[in-house]
Amino acid sequence: MQADPSDLAPQAESLFGIRLSAKQVEQFSRFEALLLDYNARFNLTAIRDVASIRTRHFLDSLSLLQVLPASGALRVVDVGTGAGFPGLPLKIMLPALHLTLVESIGKKANFCQLVVEELGLADVQVLNTRAEELARQPEHREGYDYALARAVAAMPILAEYLLPLVKVSGKMVAQKGSSAHVEAQSAARAFNLLGASLERVIPVELPGVSDERYLVVVRKTSPTPTAYPRPAGAPVKKPLT
């Protein structure tokens, strides 16, 4: 029998000082049920049990509310979103967000679209494409207040994916593990080449999770040169170091 996800609410308030409405609790409940169902058939994510979904997917995603402003119609892009993390939990909590989910694997992009429709989420665009291609499109290049990613790639690669999408004065936020500080330092040259600089690294604590978690926040300070991002595959084959 599926457990009641209402215990997500006190955890979110205790950890991050946010309160879930009855509607938001119901949306998370429906999201959880869809994820459990589809994961059993399509292998969307390695996290399969209810407790881990709430902690490592929902609460981990909501940790970004420590960075994103609580109000305002921000334009946010989530690159390599997988099954919708961190973007969809953030959209549930901040309904005014204009959210774009970017996922290159079709079955995952299709699942995200299903969740958007089932939860009745407005102003969400799901794109089955690569970040390198998206950043070449005028309507997306340097068009976002925030670009987010979780465990997608090493920091120099991730910076080349995200920063071309961010407005000047906007931010990229990368969710990282114990290597966060080392990765942030190693990507200093990449940040500079792409028109940005490290702002801060924020520790994240999750209940029952011993792994170190951090938010690496990088501020866009000038336009990204038109040479970046390089064609698909190039950022991985030859990272900016």
Helices and strands of the chain, counted as H and E runs: 11, 7
Over 70: is that where the pLDDT of 144 sits? yes
What is the per-residue pLDDT across 164-211, written as a single tens digit (0 to 9) for each?
A: 999 999 999 999 999 999 999 999 999 999 999 999 999 999 998 889
pLDDT for the residue 6: 52
Contact 148, 87 (CB under 8 A): yes
Encoded tokens for 132: 């390198």
Pairing of strands 213-220, 196-204: antiparallel
Over 80: is that where the pLDDT of 78 sits? yes
Contact 165, 134 (CB under 8 A): yes
Q: What is the mean pLDDT of residues 221-234?
A: 96
What is the per-residue pLDDT across 40-56, written as a single tens digit (0 to 9) for each?
A: 888 788 777 888 899 99
Among residues 121, 4, 13, the alpha carbon closest in space to that of 59 is found at 13
What's the chain's average pLDDT?
Answer: 93
pLDDT for the residue 178: 94
- Whether the full predicted model's pTM is greater than 0.85, yes or no, is yes
Whether domain 64-223 has CATH 3.40.30.10: no
Contact 60, 205 (CB under 8 A): no
Q: What is the mean pLDDT of residues 115-123?
A: 98
Q: In what order do the strands lie in the sheet with 213-220?
A: 124-127, 98-102, 75-79, 144-150, 166-176, 213-220, 196-204
158 vs 39 pLDDT, higher one: 158
The total number of residues written for the chain in this structure: 241
